[in-house]
Structure 1
Amino acid sequence: MTAESVEQSRWPMPPTDGYTVDDLFTLPDLPPHTELIDGSLVLVSPQRYFHFTAIDLLVSGLRRTIPSDFKVAREMTVVLDRRNGPEPDISVVRAEAKKGPLQTRFMGEDVVMAVEVVSPESESRDRHTKPHKYAAAGIRHFWLVDMANPNLHPVIEVYELAHVTGTYALTGIYHDRIKVDVPYAIDIDLTAIDEL
């Protein structure tokens, strides 16, 4: 690649030590839903219909029984540290973390639960990278949502942060219905995705 072609490149050359969260929010013309993982910008590919209907189903179900001290947000950046600003598909945050309609991010310490819906292009990040980072940031609850055969309904793996190890421990796998008591009482019919 010549110097001229680099100058004509649409994307800026990354700094030697990587991007920071400040860059994530100030670089011009980044595509929507760009994430920052380990100082690298991650651009999101187009999503499958399952991805956004699973998010819709879960957001609706989570809001149905949410206590007043929590809020549910979808696709908002969560600042974990200076070099990590992932965008969980869904976050349950403390109500006081909501600052207003122009807000663009939440801090990791305000997130009670992060939810990732697995996509083919981001499977490794959804299953390994992001859960590790969420756990390291102290986010107590994590759900991993995937599409299960034969009916292509969501299957949800529920994890809770183990205080001794600082990593997530699997507490259950839910296929047709998820009914849990933490972080609050939640009961969602996962087969309702067929109606969306």
Structure 2
Amino acid sequence: MSAAREYGLDEDYEWPRPPAEGWTADDLDRLPNLPPHTELIDGSLVFVSPQTRFHMRTLRLLENVLLDQAPAELDVIREMTVKLDRTNRPEPDVLVIRADADTGPRQTWFRPEDLVLAVEVVSADSVARDREVKPRKYAAAGIRHYWRVEEEKGLPVVYVYELDPASRSYIPNGVHRNRLKVPVPYDIDIDLTALNRRHP
């Protein structure tokens, strides 16, 4: 069986062939037939595996509460890419952005300076990216706050990081179970045990 048929694609399907120097951030808007939520890391396309119930419910909880508690000058959005540089365009799971970063309904990416917080919910296929690769790149791009969310006994555990502007690296700023209460990037209070309850 061909690789195309194994993935449920037509035999004539043409897999994207990268140029010698790798893909660029702008290519994500031009390449046809990319799967949803394709990211670009160091010039390589990264395809997302199907997500778990934990992942999707955690995204919904965080997005709803962060948006509910955000000041008027900030907005919260899920799963949009950030153009870090020419060959890196990752897609954080949840983004807290400046409200004035909205450029219209056809917008497909944000600049690093538009973000005040990037959140990644770790999946089985994203452990190394979310623990090592992405935080390093987000910090180098100057994104002030980063949260990494992992599953523990069915509930989210949130690892909070804040940027040290001198070293352009993240400093650990707490591990939160059951409740996440922090004063930056704004006053945030999240009942993490609410994950398995319906959220309005």
RMSD: 1.2
Q: TM-score, normalised by structure 2?
A: 0.91
2:188 pairs with one of 182, 186, 189:
186
Uncovered stretches (5+) of structure 1, i.e. residues with no partner? 1-7
**Matched-pair contact (CA < 8 Å) for 2:147–2:161:** yes
Deviation >3 Å, runs of 4+: none
Give the structure 1 partner of residue 142 of structure 2: 138
Correspondent of 1:93 among 92, 97, 119? 97
Letter of the 2:150 partner, please give it.
Answer: D
How far did residue 9 of structure 1 move?
5.3
The residue number in structure 1 matching 2:111 is 107
Q: Give the paired residue count.
A: 188
Instruction: Provide the rounded CA distance (Å) in 2 between the counterparts of 1:41 and 1:98.
Output: 25
Q: Is the 8 A contact 2:76 2:94 kept in 1?
A: yes
Which consecutive unaligned segments of at least 5 residues does structure 2 have?
1-11
Structure 2 CA distance, aligned partners of 1:131 and 1:10?
Answer: 33
Residues 31-90 of structure 1 deviation map (CA, whole Å, 9 limit, x = unaligned): 100000000000000000000100000011101110111110100011100100000000
**Aligned with residue 47 of structure 2, among 43, 53, 65:** 43
- Structure 1 Cα separation of the partners of residues 194 and 54 of structure 2: 12
**Which residue of 60, 64, 81 corresponds with 2:64?**
60
Aligned equivalents of 2:75, 2:68: Cα separation in 1: 11
Question: Matched residue of 1:121: which SS?
Answer: coil
Please state if 1:26 is matched with 2:30: yes
Distance (whole Å) between structure 2 residues aligned to residue 104 and residue 53 of structure 1: 24
The answer on 1:128 being equivalent to 2:132 is: yes
Which residue identity is paired with 2:191? D
Classify the secondary structure of the residue corresponding to 2:129. helix
Alpha-carbon distance between aligned partners in 2 of 1:195 and 1:181, rounded to the nearest angstrom: 25
Give the drift of 1:101: 2.4
Q: Secondary structure at the match of 1:93?
A: strand
Tell me which amino acid in the other structure corresponds to 1:124. Answer: A
